[in-house]
Amino acid sequence: MRSNPSEKAKTIIFLKNTQNVNLISVATDYLFVDKYFGRWIEIELENGNRGYVFDAFIDYNNDEEKFHKFFSSFYLNTYKNRRSDIERFSKNFKLKSCNPPIDDSENENCTTLDRNTLDLSKLNIIGSDGSGKTNYFPSIFKYKNNIIEVEIDQGGSHYYSWHFKFSNGRWELIYVYSFSC
C-alpha cells in the first residue's frame, strides 16, 4: 500500500494475500505500470490506515478480467501453439498487413482481412526470427481510446502491433497490424 496514487510514492505497508480491506475510491483513469494495466484505488485497512494500491493486483470486482493475466495467457498460448489458438481470443478480429513503399512517392501497400475472409490459424502475427527459436517479447504497451496496443519491434525487418479491447468484462484481440520489409 502506498502513501499516494503513484508507483514512486512511499510504500506504507505490504498487504497480505488474503487481507480484507475497505474500498474508499477508484480513480477514473487507467494506465500502465510496466506491463500491468489498471487504476489506483484508495483503500482503508481494518486498523483505519488509508493508502493506495494499483488494482491490477487486487481482486475487488470478480467480473473484470485483469489485462496482464489475459495477455500472459494469450502470449504464451499463441507462441506455444504457433497461431493455432488465435481464434479463441477473438470474435471480431481484423488483420492489417503492410509492405513498405517501393519509393518515396508511394504509400505503404496494406491489406485488411477479417475472420470471414481468412483462416486465422495460418496467420503470421507472431514475432519470430523465422527459425522458430527466437521469440520477441512485447516492448511497448499503450492505452488510448479504450484500446490497448502492444508493440513488438523485431529490429527492422518486422513490426507487429496487437490491439485489444475490453468488452463485457473480458479482453479480446480485435486487430493486428503487421509490417514487414
**pLDDT (0 to 100) of residue 48:** 94
Q: Where are the CATH 3.10.450 domain residues in the chain?
A: 67-180
Report the CATH architecture of 67-180: Roll (3.10)
Q: Please give the torsion angle defined by the CA atoms of residues 126, 130, 134 and 139, in that order, rounded to the nearest 10 degrees.
A: -40
CB-based contact 90:172 (threshold 8 Å):
yes
- What phi and psi values does residue 48 have, to the nearest 5 degrees? 95, -10
Q: Name residues whose C-beta falls within 8 Å of residue 143's C-beta, 6 or more positions apart in sequence.
A: 30, 31, 32, 37, 149
Q: Is the pTM of this model over 0.85?
A: no
Closest CA to 90 of 118, 131, 60: 118
pLDDT at 121 over 60: no
Q: What percent of the chain has pLDDT over 70?
A: 59
Check if the beta carbon of residue 157 is closer than 8 Å to that of residue 180: yes
Output the average pLDDT for the chain. 75
Give the pLDDT confidence of 61-104 residue by residue, as tens digits.
666 788 888 888 777 766 555 544 555 555 565 666 666 566 66
